[in-house]
Amino acid sequence: MARYEHDCANCIPLGEFEEYDLYFCDQGGVAPTVIARYGPYGDYHSGLYFGTTLPFIREAIRRAQDKGLLPV
């Protein structure tokens, strides 16, 4: 269940983590990414690169890998 409305039909929900709703998006196969939405007005962080520094992005990556959406 998501707390914040998310407007991308291609995103796969990964659940909640702390104050974030987590998603995986393959972006049409061009550049897969994860998203951590934290507010009702389009407030979010995204980018696989930030998995090294942001714990909520790292968690989204882990969950996407567990579902086989990203390579380990």
Predicted pLDDT of residue 61: 98
| pLDDT (0 to 100) of residue 37 | 95
pLDDT along the chain (72 residues), means of 10: 83 96 92 94 93 97 97 92
Task: Please tell me the predicted confidence (pLDDT) of residue 40.
Answer: 86
The per-residue pLDDT for 7 is: 81
Residue 29 has a pLDDT of 82
Burial 46-70 (b: 16+ CB within 10 A, else e): bebebbeebebbbbbbbbbeeeebb
